[in-house]
Chains A and B, each alone.
Chain A
């Protein structure tokens, strides 16, 4: 089913540069080597301080990867690099085999199929839940089509499905600003899903959620597993345990990978214990 996504992506991407400012249209994502994201030797330094230091990491298609690490380990910076917000000082970042992320801007990367959820839930507070999802929906996002776009039936259906998935149907006409913290988190996840990305980056998705909400979010992510590749940055160990299962966990420390492997193995790693769990 991934492939169908890719087809549609190619179609809706449209010929590049038509609107005058080059937009890439992914010629299908080449994931022949089974990995969807390659980070190699990424280094980011702000005025000498190395936020990322020769970071190397790759994520497989359909994998759910948890990233843990103490504050300042470079988790958010890594996401900034992947989503094109920060340009690495050195190193390469590839999406699939062919798309070089370091050459694209945020919009192009998002369009290529990477969705990101922020640490603090950021939704369009003035817009209704519906509008938020509508804006995020995967479609031609250049100026003219946007100006003349009318909502089709199936698009409405898609929004409806997502609404049910994130359990916000009852709130559909409320301005997003009025939602509870947890609801915002879900809405943002919902917006990611509307983008139909192949890779989701989730930055602390359960921060500030009640246990019930956390529970529910865990289920949600598990539903997504396989359909999308996910990268989850999280502090909450229990939650990581809940979603990681026997999947790989990566520990970042001072901008580079400290340890990698199943949760059980990682938790046993003395260095990890020292820098992180040891506290």
Chain B
């Protein structure tokens, strides 16, 4: 009898990636989202089922934010590493893609030069070395993954090796990001200074403002987001995921049972940075501009707030949080432009005080209440 007991122990230990219900929920959500651009393309404006291009563009943007939030949740929610520097990875991904988009403008710029306009007015005669090959889309995509990844790996390796934890880590990530922002603000750095990259014309030959291209970008973003969610879930459900939460809860204990946290932290930190970079890369063509303000302290902190609002350590939460917070922001800035900061600020305070587990946590509590009432 003991034997059987043990095997079912083993069976019980294996958990599905998502429960059937969640799978369906996700499927429905994805389908709904995927439908919107179609509604926009198929039905004429004014039609009851028409969805405005504005709404689609907005959602596309939010999904990029959601992906960044998801990435942040991996490190913060699971490994307990709070990064105030994810804006940097986001922006780097964006810039990497932006370099390609700038090259794709070709001679359609103001000065009909092969160089981007900002280089022309700096009197540069040729591309600096770090721009080489960026005319190739595949290479740009490579950079999108490598630049944030490598930076994160190197930075993370040293930071984690010297066991920088908690607040200290947060603050040096902030320092790093701030430094990067100043660097990119310099015109001499060669990334367009404060103006950054903008006025893109085409991507892979397609007109970047064409509704079709927009829809395509939107779908790619949606796919990437869904993919990222599944990937993140896979990681967090694995034994490695449990090690990460152990790092979060009792790192020193983990050492004494023979794990070296360095590698695990580094893995999830780099993974997160890469996801964030991809989000940034998807963001740029849809928004049409990337500039150093994406690296500002504010941006990175806002990302943290999306995660907190949605519920850290839940993966789905950050996605909801990013949508909710940005939705509110968009809404407030139009309906109460003078006072929206009060509203937003208040929400942040209330969330931290009364929803430590975020929207998802709230939902779970509510659901639990229901069940009790039923029982």
Contact = CB atoms under 8 A, between A and B. Distances in A.
Question: Is A–B contact present in the complex under a CB 8 A cutoff?
Answer: yes
Interface of A: 19-21, 23, 83, 85, 105-108, 110-111, 115-116, 118, 122-127, 130-131, 134-136, 138, 141-143, 146-151, 153, 155-157, 159-160, 172-173, 191, 195
Contacts of A118: 253
B249 interface: yes
Contacts of A125: 249-250
Nearest to A152: B10
Nearest to A173: B12
Top 10 A-B pairs ranked by shortest CB distance? A106-B255, A156-B10, A110-B258, A107-B260, A160-B6, A143-B263, A147-B240, A111-B258, A146-B240, A136-B257
Interface string B1-25: 0100111011011100000000000
A143 B9 contact: no
Nearest to A161: B6
12 contacts: A21-B260, A107-B258, A116-B256, A118-B253, A124-B249, A126-B245, A127-B249, A130-B9, A135-B239, A142-B263, A149-B238, A156-B7
Interface string B343-374: 00000000000000000000000000000000
Interface string B234-257: 010011101101101110111111
Contacts of B263: 19-21, 142-143
Interface string B258-295: 11111110010000000000000000000000000000
A146 B239 contact: yes
Given A106-B252, A156-B6, A159-B9, A146 B264 contact: yes
A110 B256 CA distance: 6
A115 B255 CA distance: 10
B249 A143 contact: no
A143 B267 contact: yes
A153 B7 contact: yes
Given A107-B260, A122-B252, A172-B9, 20 more contacts: A107-B261, A110-B256, A122-B253, A123-B253, A124-B249, A124-B253, A127-B246, A135-B242, A143-B263, A143-B264, A147-B240, A149-B238, A151-B10, A153-B6, A153-B7, A155-B10, A160-B2, A173-B12, A195-B257, A195-B258
B160 to A, nearest CB: 10
A152 to B, nearest CB: 8
A150 B239 CA distance: 8
A126 B249 contact: yes
A133 B257 CA distance: 10
A27 B10 CA distance: 32
Given A20-B263, A124-B246, A135-B246, A130 B13 contact: yes
A41 B248 CA distance: 36
B135 to A, nearest CB: 34
Nearest to A155: B10
Nearest to B6: A160
**Considering residues B248, B249, B267, which has the most beta carbons from chain A within 10 angstroms of its beta carbon?**
B249
B240 A23 contact: no
B48 to A, nearest CB: 49
B264 A106 contact: no
Given A110-B256, A143-B240, A146-B264, A160 B246 contact: no
Contacts of A148: 238
- Which one of A146, A148, A173 has the highest number of Cβ atoms from chain B below 10 Å of its Cβ? A146
B242 A127 contact: yes
A115 B253 CA distance: 11
Nearest to A127: B242
A134 to B, nearest CB: 7
Contacts of B256: 83, 106, 110, 115-116
Contacts of B260: 21, 23, 105, 107-108, 141-142
Contacts of A126: 245, 248-249
B6 A157 contact: yes
B134 to A, nearest CB: 30
B255 A156 contact: no
A61 to B, nearest CB: 21
B77 to A, nearest CB: 12
Contact of B242 (A106, A115, A134, A143): A134
B262 A21 contact: yes
Contacts of B255: 105-107, 110
Nearest to B244: A146
A118 B255 CA distance: 13
Contacts of B12: 173
Contacts of A110: 255-258
B274 to A, nearest CB: 15
A232 B41 CA distance: 74
Chain A CB within 10 Å, residue with most, of B10, B13, B258:
B258
B245 A147 contact: no
A115 B259 CA distance: 12
Most A Cβ at <10 Å: residue of B6, B12, B260 = B260
Nearest to B246: A124
A152 B246 CA distance: 21
Given A107-B260, A149-B239, A122 B9 contact: no
Interface string B90-128: 000000000000000000000000000000000000000
